[in-house]
Amino acid sequence: MSLPKDLELASLSKNYDDNVAVNKINLKLNAGTYCCLLGPSGCGKTSTLRMIAGHELISSGDILIGNDIVNNLPPAKRGTSMMFQSYALFPHLNCLENIAFPLKMKGVKKNVRLKDANKFISLVQMKNYERYYPSQLSGGQQQRIALARSLITQPSILLLDEPLSALDPFLRIKMRSELKQVKNQLGITFIHVTHSQEEALALADMVVVMNNGIIEQVDTPFNIFNKPKNEFVATFVGGHNILINDGKKYAVRMDKIELDMPMKTNNNSCQIKSIEFQGERVKLGCLDQNNQEIFVLVEDTVYNKMNYEIEKYANITWDKSKAHLLQ
């Protein structure tokens, strides 16, 4: 396996005619990082990934892998490998042949490439499926074969374009764990595009939140969730209320707000407008006296003890130390 390499994007841009998809972004990733590019559809994350891979021409700026500027190198010369959202397995090739195919394109002898393919099919826990064809596999099994095929060229950086989006929720959680396990075994750099906040927070060492072609925040998952830089990050990553107090804007986590049923309305009162059961927690939507919408997450045990009902009033409070000032 190749050694992991640092990645740097310097004033990187991508324009499609008059549309600016990526706007002069700067990013440095240390070798061996699991990075998630997170953002809504159309934010520029996939264009960024494809430029790193060499599948999109850059409009301006530089891409450095290790100490080398790779702007004009073809994908096969960059030391990267890309796992596509559709998996793109060849239906007429069995699993072992699919995994070995990139080495066939490099002119590696059949016995050598099949020997390597056997190593990688074991890595992704698909031993005994060597002779199966893609049509005989489940979605999760197809993903494992696509992952092994992406790794057989021994890249320094693996690029993943929404690899879990086609899977059902249960399998998505299972494959999250397996992706992280493979990354830890190999130690190479992973760059993973997703629009799922939960996926990014669960997988990444470093999260890059993008919006309208720019980077809003680069940080650890903990800080992205607990210390969002601005209103967009707080709202998109979720779990926060955006509240105005003394002319300043704060993010306050929904689970850090308390609701007590009052004997009568007062300055801290809000009216409960919605109740949503979410399993171990219940989400209550409230309107305060300034008509400001506030959401509260309470444990199911707390909910069962309190007499919360729609249209009733409750006192709303939170510890000021839990309020995070936004830019």
pLDDT at 283 over 90: yes
pLDDT digit string (tens) for 284-309?
999 988 888 999 999 999 999 888 99
Residue 79 neighbours by CB under 8 Å, 6+ apart: 2, 5, 65, 66, 155, 156, 157
pLDDT digit string (tens) for 237-276?
989 999 887 888 999 999 999 988 765 666 678 999 999 9
Which residue in 6, 47, 5, 34 sits closest to 154, CA to CA?
5
Answer yes or no: are the C-beta atoms of 154 and 120 closer than 8 Å: no
Which residue in 279, 282, 287 sits closest to 311, CA to CA?
287
- DSSP letters for 76-109: GGTTEEEE-TT----TTS-HHHHHHHHHHHTT--
pLDDT at 198 over 90: yes
Determine the pLDDT at residue 99.
96
Mean pLDDT of 217-222: 97
Answer yes or no: are the C-beta atoms of 217 and 24 closer than 8 Å: no
CB atoms within 10 A of CB 52: 25
Average pLDDT, the chain: 92
Answer yes or no: are the C-beta atoms of 89 and 28 closer than 8 Å: no
pTM for the model stands at: 0.90
